[in-house]
Structure 1
Amino acid sequence: MTRPAYAAVDWGTSSFRLWLMDSQKQVLDERRSGEGMTTAAKAGFSTILSSHLDALAAPADLPVIVCGMAGARQGWIEAGYVDVPASLPAVLEGAVPVPGESRDIRILPGLAQRAADRPDVMRGEETQLLGALDPRAVGQQVVCMPGTHSKWVHLSGETVTSFATYMTGELFDVISKHSVLAHSLNGAEGFDGDNPVFGEAVRAAFRFPQQATNFLFTVRSGMLLHGLSPTDAAARLSGTLIGTEIAGGLTALATIPAIRLVASGRLRGLYEGAFRALSLAHETIDADEAVRRGLAAAAQKLLLAQR
């Protein structure tokens, strides 16, 4: 096998992803597990990382670039935040080396928005942004990164000017399991972004986001009065939350540029369906590919250029 040049790691709160990369930014091998920050804080970050590198027979001196929650205050080594407005390439300068390790390990910082009325933070998504953006792009860009806590980012060229976090995924989980709406979703099956009830809910919430909590209650009243099925109830709940999020993410824009959607799996299909329902131009970048590209750019500047 081609000798790896570095290992790229995306270390989340509940997940761990590692890729062995060659000097041409190609993936040679990978490891995935549920050993996120919560587990690693108990078992040891160094222990978990070494176990995965050993499983791939990685060289003992292989450098490692890490993004995500390993750099949080409760993580391995705190990597802090870079304040916006911030140039994404300049964010790499805030990388923190892990002391006491035999190999060169660098952890990337997050981004912070310190405005008193809109404080916000991100950690890990800044690396996805670095990998998702076209460096030749000029003018305003809008990036949507769905998840448990979705991020909407406004940029001018490669400079992050502002961003906002929406607790869409977490709200769906809490509401569907621990609210009066849980009974309406009992027995719901999977649905996709082309579900007509989902699309209708997206359009209604996008147009009237101030009515969101009323729209949510129609999940229950729609079942009681009109026989809304559990699957369509779940689609209405999802569409209402996503439509409200999109309305917030596009607030204050005089003109809406094509949205760069960084997503994969089921969320990719739901958000693409939502954008179609709203006739919003968009381009999709696979989330895994984006984070690998961002980590590759960081490795090139921080690790490989010095060897």
Structure 2
Amino acid sequence: MPAKPFAALVDWGTSNLRLWLVDSQGAVLAERQSAEGMGGLDRTAYPAILEGHLSALEAAQDLPVVIAGMAGARTGWREAPYVATPAPLIGLFQHAVVPEGASRPVYILPGVCQREDGHYDVMRGEETQLAGALEQGLDNALFCLPGTHSKWALVENGHISRFSTVMTGELFHLISRQSILRMSVPEDGDAEADPDIFDAAVDAALASGFALTSTLFSIRAEGLLSQGTKTNATARLSGLLIGAEIAAIQSDLKRYGKAYLIGTGKLTRLYARAIARAGGEAIMLDGGLLVRRGLLACAISLFDHEFKE
């Protein structure tokens, strides 16, 4: 007899939507994915989009839904206010909100914010992946989530104690496409193609006295003056930017000795390589699995809490 769905879990980001029907153990029974992210939606569109995907999977009319990500942003379906650091990962469900227009039980989980002077920051969605990591016993650890805006998060005793967002990916795009370095960095460049060049750039960024802004132009100069010497501007720019990012968290990396990387693909592999150059150990985690685990843990807590009330 087929397993009965326990809940629908949704990761609703800026660009994409991912939805899974799961049983009470978290096994995926069916799934959907689309490009209907928050960035292109009017607030009134959410209920119909959600029901369309659930209908396609023949989900029961009363199947509850738990959502993480940008559907809870100020411009999303309904704002789920941020929980301030130190934020307990196990208690995220307590701050879930119920949006208007849903024809079934729907809960949107909050994001997390940091209100320290000079270190204001926010996240939406990543906290649910960290809750998933907590479910597999990582209650004291340093995490990195590479992306256009990378996140570094320190989890202590099951709480997000502090975190930082680093615009490395966006800076790479801006510098390589809109600065003078656009003449040196090819659009189809591959930083992984020349690991030695990437490593040397990371090492330079990790060295004492490194100054990023006064080093970047050397990429252009090298291209003009190399005279046949092998260069890879993509690898060098990537190494300098990622190396500078990791240099900023070296004290935490030395303290923990390792960083858990949540992500896949080339960018995550580059971060793993750079962390190794900094003397740390990089351990890869499956972000899709973690977000489902985090959503499931919140769903179980939500439903148990409602039943007790």
Q: TM-score, normalised by structure 2?
A: 0.91
Structure 2: distance between partners of 1:195 and 1:43: 48
Structure 2: distance between partners of 1:256 and 1:23: 34
| Contact kept in structure 2, 1:193 and 1:269, CA below 8 Å | no
AA at the equivalent of 2:13: G
AA at the equivalent of 2:21: L
SS at match of 2:216: helix
Structure 2 portions without partners, runs of 5+: none
Shift of the alpha carbon at 1:240?
Answer: 1.1
Q: Give deviations 1:80-111, integer Å, cap 9, x for gaps.
A: 10011121112221111123322111000011
Q: Residue in 1 aligned with 2:203?
A: 203
Percent identity of paired positions between Structure 1 and Structure 2? 44
SS at match of 1:98: coil
Structure 2: distance between partners of 1:106 and 1:194: 46
Q: Residue in 2 aligned with 1:262?
A: 262
AA at the equivalent of 1:10: D
Q: Residue in 2 aligned with 1:75?
A: 76
Structure 1: distance between partners of 2:187 and 2:88: 47
Structure 1: distance between partners of 2:227 and 2:290: 42
Q: TM-score, normalised by structure 1?
A: 0.91
| Contact kept in structure 2, 1:187 and 1:231, CA below 8 Å | no
**C-alpha distance 208-290 of structure 1, shift in aligned 2 (>3 A):** farther
Structure 2: distance between partners of 1:300 and 1:37: 26
Shift of the alpha carbon at 1:25?
Answer: 0.3
| Contact kept in structure 2, 1:194 and 1:273, CA below 8 Å | no
SS at match of 2:130: helix
| Contact kept in structure 1, 2:143 and 2:154, CA below 8 Å | yes
Shift of the alpha carbon at 1:136?
Answer: 4.3
Q: CA RMSD in A?
A: 2.3
Q: Residue in 2 aligned with 1:106?
A: 107
Q: Residue in 1 aligned with 2:298?
A: 298
Q: Residue in 2 aligned with 1:225?
A: 225
What are the equivalent positions in structure 2 for 1:225-264 lying under 5 Å apart? 225-226=225-226, 232-251=232-251, 255-264=255-264
Q: How many residues align?
A: 306
Structure 1: distance between partners of 2:165 and 2:300: 29
| Contact kept in structure 1, 2:186 and 2:234, CA below 8 Å | no
Structure 1: distance between partners of 2:4 and 2:231: 49
Structure 2: distance between partners of 1:131 and 1:260: 13
**C-alpha distance 185-136 of structure 1, shift in aligned 2 (>3 A):** closer
Structure 2: distance between partners of 1:286 and 1:69: 20
**C-alpha distance 228-177 of structure 1, shift in aligned 2 (>3 A):** farther
Structure 2: distance between partners of 1:175 and 1:94: 39
Structure 1: distance between partners of 2:26 and 2:3: 12
Is the aligned partner of 1:147 residue 2:133?
no
**C-alpha distance 86-229 of structure 1, shift in aligned 2 (>3 A):** farther
Q: Residue in 2 aligned with 1:183?
A: 183
Structure 1 portions without partners, runs of 5+: none
AA at the equivalent of 1:179: S
| Contact kept in structure 1, 2:43 and 2:75, CA below 8 Å | no
